[in-house]
């Protein structure tokens, strides 16, 4: 089993924390986490891939162990998250990689792919949305905040950050409770309780509208560059429904889609199945 190393990389004013495992000369798999988690979500996946791939999983600014300037001194937007990851990739010398995109990691990673399409060998989307088809009907408070960034609408989004929401809605919906470890959601709840964390997350919720505005550009990137794509999707996700996985086939006819009997955080309960799909896919697409 490959040893996981825990490293830091300075990117401008941000100190990016990341996990790395696997041979330094192996094909690279860049793992981008989502909301409200961190690279900790990949703790079970990394060992299952690192024998064959150099696996790298950074924490985005505002998440996990990455150190970024406080709100007001750093723009907590998806453009800024993507710029940081572009700088991170450049700093550690990655020139070719497969992307694993999940939740917030999808709009972040797809910005990266549009900026440097020549670097992207393949994409694995695990509940990483890029189509309006993928939205459930449970986005009302966020969509209201996008339309009108009033203080009242901001406060209406705050329950999305509450411990019960993280534990029971984000992690618990559609997951077998006997298989769902508490480690992931309890760590995310602790991170959310840090001073200033909620306000940063509310800023990102408001900025999420920019991701939706970029969906046509993401789709144009797919059509133009035809990256090999694997969608492995927890079909009980309360936020991103299976139609979002199937929609990739409109622009990427050869996309491979697998729907799992899991929720949004499918890796918490189905990391072995996801690892098997990834190994098979990348063995064919990155050979």
Query: Which residues participate in catalysis according to the annotation?
Result: 264
DSSP string spanning 115-179?
A: H-GGGEEEEEESS---SGGGB-S--HHHHHHHH---HHHHHHHGGGGSHHIIIIIIITTTS-TTT
Under 8 Å between Cβ of 21 and 50: yes
**Where are the alpha helices (H) located in the chain, listed in sequence order?**
46-49, 78-91, 105-115, 140-147, 151-157, 163-164, 182-192, 197-207, 209-225, 243-246, 248-251, 267-285
| Cis status of the peptide bond prior to 164, with omega within 30 of 0 | no
Question: In a 3-state reduction of DSSP, which class is residue 8?
Answer: strand
Question: In a 3-state reduction of DSSP, which class is residue 223?
Answer: helix
Choose among 146, 226, 160, 211: nearest CA to 189.
Answer: 160
Can you give the C-alpha Rg of the chain in angstroms? 17
Q: Report strand pairing: 5-11 vs 97-101.
A: unpaired
Using N-to-C axis directions, what is the helix angle for 209-225 and 105-115, rounded to 10°? 50
């Amino acid at each position: 089993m490959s040893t996981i190393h825990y490293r830091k990389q300075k990117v401008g004013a941000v100190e990016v924390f990341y996990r790395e495992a696997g041979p330094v000369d192996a094909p690279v798999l860049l793992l981008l986490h989502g909301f409200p988690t961190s690279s900790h979500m990949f703790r079970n996946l990394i060992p299952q891939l690192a024998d064959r791939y150099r696996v790298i999983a950074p924490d985005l600014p505002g998440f996990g162990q990455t150190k970024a300037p406080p709100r007001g001194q750093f723009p907590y937007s998806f453009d800024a998250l993507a710029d940081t990851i572009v700088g991170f990739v450049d700093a550690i010398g990655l020139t070719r990689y497969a992307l694993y995109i999940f939740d917030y990691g999808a709009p972040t990673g797809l910005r990266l792919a549009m900026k440097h399409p020549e670097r992207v060998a393949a994409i694995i989307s695990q509940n990483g949305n890029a189509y309006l088809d993928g939205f459930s009907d449970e986005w009302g408070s966020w969509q209201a905040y996008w339309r009108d960034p009033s203080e009242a609408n901001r406060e209406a989004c705050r329950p999305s950050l509450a411990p019960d929401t993280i534990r029971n809605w984000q992690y618990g919906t559609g997951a077998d409770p006997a298989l769902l470890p508490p480690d992931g959601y309890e760590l995310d709840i602790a991170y959310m309780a840090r001073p200033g964390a909620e306000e940063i997350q509310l800023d990102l919720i408001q900025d999420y509208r920019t991701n939706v505005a970029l969906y046509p550009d993401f789709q144009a990137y797919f059509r133009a560059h035809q990256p090999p794509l694997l969608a492995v999707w927890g079909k009980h996700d309360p936020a991103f429904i299976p139609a979002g996985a199937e929609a990739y086939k409109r622009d990427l006819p050869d996309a491979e889609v697998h729907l799992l009997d899991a929720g949004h955080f499918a890796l918490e309960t189905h990391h072995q199945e996801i690892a098997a799909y990834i190994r098979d896919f990348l063995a064919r697409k990155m050979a």
